[in-house]
């Protein structure tokens, strides 16, 4: 049974029993992403790490490492 079929079955059962309908699949996905981000930031603060900008700093270090050229040795 697909996710959509299960959802319609749950809606049908809720209507027959006079209960509120369940939320549609995918309706709260962005809210979940925001909550996960906030949880990671909170965990970072508790661990004593910066709460934001970690990805940008890491990418900047990687980029800096890629653009460095070996020093020329000469007399």
Q: Given a cut of 90, is residue 67 above it in pLDDT?
A: no
State the Cα–Cα distance between residues 23 and 42, nearest whole angstrom.
28
pTM given for the model: 0.43
Helix H or strand E segment including 5: helix 3-17
pLDDT tens-place string over residues 39-58: 988 888 888 887 777 677 77
């Amino acid at each position: 049974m697909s996710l959509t079929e299960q959802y319609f079955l749950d809606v049908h059962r809720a209507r027959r029993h006079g209960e509120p309908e369940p939320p549609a699949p995918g309706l709260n996905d962005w809210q979940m992403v925001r909550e996960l981000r906030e949880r990671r930031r909170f965990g970072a603060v508790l661990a004593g790490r910066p709460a934001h900008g970690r990805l940008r700093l890491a990418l900047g270090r990687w980029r800096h490492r890629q653009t460095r050229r070996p020093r020329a040795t000469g007399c």
